[in-house]
Structure 1
Amino acid sequence: MITPQSSLLKYDSPILISKTTDINLDELLKPLPPKHDQRAKPVPLKNLQPWGRVDPIDQQKPEDILPKILPPVVFEKDGQKWLQKVSSTPATRLDVQRLAEQLDRKLELREARETGICPIRRELYKQAFDEIIRQVTINCAERGLLLLRVRDEINMTLQAYQTIYESSIGFGCRKALYAKKSEIETGNLVSSLQGELAQLEKESADLKAKIEAVQRKEEAEREALKKKQAEEVQFLKRNNQQLKQKLEGIVQAKK
């Protein structure tokens, strides 16, 4: 059951739905005919009265139009189905002031955000706008139908924005996942390259150590070879000197 405390849209008292009821539920829940969704066509001049008033666009009563603009609510309670229609009672200036006060109070009680996206604030303003449509439709069906078009256009625009927002969120999530995957792959590649670098540095150090060992060995061998050559030169010099002395002795002996 919808009460004034639960909704800003004004409803009548619930009606029990039974098999013997004469209420046509399908008729009440049926949406507006397509002609109400189309743009208003110019009023023929023949319908213009001498005093400047125009015939209504639709001859239906507000009581017949309201259930199509603002469908009734069907709910179950204690195993029975109930129907609650939107109220067709005309609104006064006091009702409008009370609606504004209720809207401000509900916004404060439900802690709706003043800026940004807020589902609570949107729901309450939607209820308030539906109540304004109800009040206007009772006094002038044409204005109510025009406000209905405005409401539907706003809802369609909001749904389009919501679709774009959800699409952008999905796109952002996919990009974030791709970036995370790329980051992981890059991290693995860096780790692999760092391992290869450490291995190459170790191999380089081993090769440097081998080169230094070979250089030290060659230097030692070179020093040993120089020493051996020097000893051989000294030996040859001494041998040459001895041979020279023997030769001189032989020469002097012959004289």
Structure 2
Amino acid sequence: MEHLIPPGKTKTEHRDAVAMPTQYTESLLKYDNPVLVSKSTDRKSPKGRPLRVSPQQSADSTPIPPPPKPKSSLTDATKQESEEILNAILPPREWMEGNQLWMQHVSSTPCTRTDVVHLEELLDTKLQQRQARETGICPVRRELYSQCFDELIRQVTINCAERGLLLLRVRDEIQMTIAAYQTLYESSVAFGMRKALQAEQGKADMEKMISDLESEKHDLKKQLNEQRAKCDAIEKRENEKRQVEEKKHMEEIQFLKRTNQQLKTQLELIITPKK
């Protein structure tokens, strides 16, 4: 196993002088320097603590131990337990670069008030740099605030593990609620798309029905005009026929009247000599 920090350089000098691996991504969550875990192409995922390399360890074959500090066994056990809880809450990230396996643990360094102020300033800077929207749904803003909340969980967990675990429950509940809303949104969008497609299909069918009805209406109007023309022709013909019949009837009446008058005159002539 090999560490990034070469002999003779501090962590800060090495961070400023040497570029991180290409897969390294900046985050508001404070991490230790990446550690080269393995060069083998067979990836052995370091799920436990044995593969963790301390950032203060040198790359020499004979590492120089840090100066002895008086610590009780109880303090060491508490610190180790706190680190284990911290790694359980915020697991180390790992990635493959070529045939090298890199791993990066969250920092277990306690924070100060200056660190919190710097975190707030860094959050504002990242929001401006990545042009996050101030209102509405914005994945960039959500990602940055999620990283900021993880950093706050890290800072709280170092001082009080129980409080960090409670904040973890709050974070998981928020993420679960957001996931539920996202699922609801996706299902509503899918439902809306189905309804829109059904409406488009129904619109095409309705337009076809309207076209058919318009064509049928045109045919019916044509038939109506033809029937009206026939009706007008029949009415005209019948009027002419009625006029002819009426004229003929009047002529017959006049003929019968003249005939009646003539018969009456003849009858009067026949009756008159007898007197």
Distance 1:245 1:4, change over 3 A: closer
SS in 2 for 1:26: coil
SS in 2 for 1:198: helix
The one of 89, 112, 130 equivalent to 1:69 is 89
Counterpart position of 1:46: none
Distance 1:251 1:147, change over 3 A: closer
Matched, 1:26 2:44: no
Could you list the per-position Cα deviations for residues 178-231 of structure 1 after superposition, in whole angstroms to 9, with x for gaps in the alignment? 333333333322222222222222212211111111111111122222333444
Matched, 1:86 2:86: no
* C-alpha displacement of 1:18: 2.3
Contact 2:39 2:101 (C-alpha < 8 Å) held by counterparts: no
Matched, 1:154 2:166: no
Equivalent positions of 1:3-18 (< 5 A) are 6-18=26-38
RMSD: 3.4
Matched, 1:144 2:164: yes
SS in 2 for 1:113: coil
Could you list the per-position Cα deviations for residues 67-108 of structure 1 after superposition, in whole angstroms to 9, with x for gaps in the alignment? 211111112234311111111111111111110000001111
Amino acid at match of 2:228: K
Percent pairwise identity:
54
Once residues 199 and 3 of structure 1 are traced to their aligned partners in structure 2, the CA distance between those partners, rounded to angstroms, is 73
Contact 1:28 1:68 (C-alpha < 8 Å) held by counterparts: no
Once residues 45 and 236 of structure 2 are traced to their aligned partners in structure 1, the CA distance between those partners, rounded to angstroms, is 112
Counterpart position of 1:129: 149
How many residues align structurally?
227
Distance 1:238 1:105, change over 3 A: same
Could you list the per-position Cα deviations for residues 208-255 of structure 1 after superposition, in whole angstroms to 9, with x for gaps in the alignment? 111111111111122222333444555566677788899999999xxx
Counterpart position of 1:37: none
SS in 2 for 1:25: coil
Amino acid at match of 1:131: E
* C-alpha displacement of 1:19: 7.3
Range with greater deviation from structure 2 (5-14 or 58-67): 58-67
Distance 1:167 1:251, change over 3 A: closer
Contact 2:23 2:95 (C-alpha < 8 Å) held by counterparts: no
Give the TM-score taking structure 2 as reference length. Answer: 0.69
The one of 219, 244, 260 equivalent to 1:199 is 219
Once residues 250 and 242 of structure 1 are traced to their aligned partners in structure 2, the CA distance between those partners, rounded to angstroms, is 12
Contact 1:110 1:120 (C-alpha < 8 Å) held by counterparts: yes
Counterpart position of 1:48: none
Which structure 2 residue ranges, 5 or more long, are not aligned?
Answer: 1-20, 51-76
Distance 1:138 1:248, change over 3 A: closer
Counterpart position of 1:228: 248
Contact 1:4 1:10 (C-alpha < 8 Å) held by counterparts: no
Once residues 126 and 24 of structure 2 are traced to their aligned partners in structure 1, the CA distance between those partners, rounded to angstroms, is 11
Could you list the per-position Cα deviations for residues 160-189 of structure 1 after superposition, in whole angstroms to 9, with x for gaps in the alignment? 111112122222222222333333333322
Contact 1:3 1:11 (C-alpha < 8 Å) held by counterparts: no
Amino acid at match of 2:193: C
Matched, 1:168 2:181: no
* C-alpha displacement of 1:125: 0.4
Once residues 118 and 157 of structure 2 are traced to their aligned partners in structure 1, the CA distance between those partners, rounded to angstroms, is 19
